[in-house]
Structure 1
Amino acid sequence: MVSKDDVLNALKRVADPHMGISIVDMGLINDVEVGEDGNVSFTLTPTNPGCMSVIHMAGGAKHVVSELEGVKKVNVTVKGHMMEDDINKILGDEPIEKK
């Protein structure tokens, strides 16, 4: 079973494109939950409510976590962005789910 540490280590591979620092080290990742069923969820809070790179970072985060063995589904929620509703709809419309 995948652990919270596994998820955080995978997320360290995703960097803020402007800073070149991982989204974990920048403190942008919160509320990591790993279910026994292989479902993983977490929130990403950008440093700027108008951050133009948030969709790129959230999509990258969703992708690297989905590659972990034992992960069936990944749910990323963006919080604190002026377009979070639209961004979360886009992220939710493109589920990464393994059988």
Structure 2
Amino acid sequence: MSEETKQKIQDKLSRIADPHMGVSIVEMGLIKDIDVDDDNKFAKIVITPTNPGCMSIANIAMAAKLEAEKLDEIDKAEIEVVDHMMADTINEMVNKEE
């Protein structure tokens, strides 16, 4: 895994602000993990909301996916929302193939 690619993803994600707080989701600690495969083509990003009922987490997750996939190195990003009461539904929606 390239630490450089992981850092590029984190930099992209730091541009996403929590809609309620106006603070970067990275700065707020919502990004729990970023994993990049050996080929630097696939990234998995784990996000945890500030509370298990946060209604903005679906939008945050989708924004994270889109930002990560803007990088030339990344062909596909998968988002895993954890510790949310609707995590399964959100993960399915965000990661659905077009």
TM over 0.5: yes
Contact 2:5 2:73 in 1 (8 A): no
Moved more, 35-44 or 12-21: 35-44
Post-superposition offset of 1:51: 0.3
1:87 counterpart = 2:90: yes
User: Once the 2 structures are TM-superposed, how far is the Cα of residue 54 of structure 1 from its aligned partner?
Assistant: 0.3
- RMSD (CA atoms): 1.4
Return the TM-score normalized by structure 2: 0.90
Q: Does 1:18 align with 2:26?
A: no
Tell me if 1:68 matches 2:34: no
Match of 2:10 in 1: 8
What secondary structure sits across from 2:95 in the alignment? helix
CA distance in 1, matches of 2:51, 2:42: 28
The number of equivalent residue pairs is 95
Residue 35 of structure 2 is matched in structure 1 by: 33
| Equivalent residue number for residue 49 of structure 2 | 46
| Identity value in percent | 43
CA contact (8 A) 2:12 2:67 kept: yes
TM-score by length of 1: 0.90
* Partner SS state of residue 78, structure 2: strand
Task: Give unmatched runs, 5+ long, in structure 1.
Answer: none
Listed one character per residue, the Cα deviations across residues 18-42 of structure 1 (whole Å, up to 9, x for unaligned) are 0000110000001211113210011
Report the residue type matching 1:69 in the other structure: D
Unpaired runs of 5+ residues, structure 2, are none
